[in-house]
Amino acid sequence: MEYLIVSFTHKNTDIQTREKLAFSNDLEKEMFLKTIVEHPSINEAILISTCNRVEFILSVNQCKDSGQHIIAMLAKRSNINLKELLGRADIYENEGAIHHLFTVASSLDSLVVGETQIAGQLKDSFKFSIEKAFSGQKLARVMHYSFKCAARVRTATSLGTGSVSVASTAVAKAKELYNGIDNVKAIVIGAGEMSELAIKHLLKSGFEVIICSRNLQKAKTLANSFEENIEVESYDKLEELLNSKRLLFTATSAPYPIIKCNMVKKCGFQRNWFDIAVPRDIEDINSNDLNIYSVDDLQGIVDENVVLRADAAKIAYGIVGKITIEFFSWIKTLSVEPTIKHLYLSADEIIERKINNALKKGFIKLEDEKNIHKLCKTIVSEFLHKPSSQLREVSKSMEGDIVLGTTQNLFGLKEDSDMLNKYKCEHALDSTI
């Protein structure tokens, strides 16, 4: 069994390509994952698709074939040239895959270092995969450790302090653009999580907010969740709003642009629109009085964020490295404990058999059976104590698998699946994550 991650992110893929790769709804994810796990080399799979990344986290029998298969499927689905995708993809195997996953979970690989959304997005993706039976014990263990790593990074560094996200970064850019201008109203399209984050930061920065959504009731509920007064407009007013307000934020889950060229009219003031959706919500529009910022256009503020958080990130990378080593040490102990258990069980079987034979032949008295049994158990425990300790220690080394296999063959031991199931990830058993 091997670990594999196939990764397309803001680091290796532009937004035009990412939006072609993106999965806009659960049905698309389910159908693609179902096809993936039917491949003979792929055992388990998790898909995470956000504005900054499309990544597959996998348990496989063979990394090379599995990675090529997924990229070929993506090329077919997105109508992107296979050679181009192969050139863009970052492929992480085994230790590299685990280190990368822990880096992602700890928000060190995000566009905005330290952003708070990625851990929740990972949990949602994992929960979806578990519920649809695309993921099981192998990836459950990995995800458990990734959340453990993220928690340790938040505790040990300042990366989790403050509220940082793509939405907050976009609002920071808007605040810079409208510095010194009062009573600027911002249109927020949609009533989902990203819209809620944008509203939160807009209000904090002194902007007034208008929510425009297809789901009017959901928009009203969102507006009422804030103490400040927020206007709510129906979706059929969108075109009017576009041409009468200076500022707009949109981050819907629509699989196609909802703001098209023919909806935009000339006006007598400069407009700034922030499209933080992938796929993008706004078509490419050329207008002298309109600036459109996508996720990738926020790089200036992102670079400042990286500099400010450099010291904390350095500490965080150290934690990621340590927990990666810790994870593989733990995984190795999952194999050694059943082996040690069966060593003791085999010894117990011999003790029982020999004592029964001795009783039948009259070599020992019935009243002495209990004491002799205790004596034999004590001898075996003392005899196996040192080999058991050494097995646990050597299991952490590069030679661990060889030594363990040799021990199992020498003593004719079997794998205990029930023992292995003891170590299932807690998140795999908790449907409330």
Q: What is the distance between the alpha carbons of residues 311 and 329, in angstroms, rounded to a whole number?
A: 28
The token pair that represents 152 in the structure block? 């340790």
User: Three-state DSSP class for 115?
Assistant: coil
Single-letter code of the amino acid located at 262: N
Instruction: Kindly give, in sequence order, each residue whose CB lies less than 8 Å from that of residue 216, ignoring residues fewer than 6 positions away.
Output: 232, 234, 235
Single-letter code of the amino acid located at 428: A
**Taking Cα atoms as reference points, which of 86, 197, 104 lies closest to residue 142?**
104
Helix (H) or strand (E) holding 33: helix 26-37
Burial of 283: CB neighbours in 10 Å, binned 0-12, 13-18, 19+: middle
Count of CB atoms situated within 10 Å of the CB of 251? 27
Residue 424 Cα to chain centre, angstroms:
18
Are residues 308 and 48 in contact, defined by beta-carbon separation less than 8 angstroms?
A: no
Phi, psi of 24 (to 5 degrees): -90, -10
Tell me: cis bond preceding 279? Omega within 30 of 0 counts.
yes
Phi, psi of 349 (to 5 degrees): -65, -40
Which residue pairs from 231-237 have beta carbons closer than 8 angstroms and sit at least 24 positions apart in sequence? 237/212
Residue 51 a catalytic site member: yes
Instruction: Kindly give, in sequence order, each residue whose CB lies less than 8 Å from that of residue 202, ignoring residues fewer than 6 positions away.
Output: 171, 174, 186, 188, 209, 249
Task: Please count the CA atoms within 13 angstroms of the CA of 246 that sit on its side-chain side.
Answer: 14
Going by the DSSP 8-state scheme, the letter that residue 334 receives in this structure is H
The edge-to-edge listing of strands for the beta sheet with 2-9 is: 42-49, 53-60, 2-9, 90-93
Q: What is the distance between the alpha carbons of residues 239 and 263, in angstroms, rounded to a whole number?
A: 6
List residues with catalytic annotation: 51
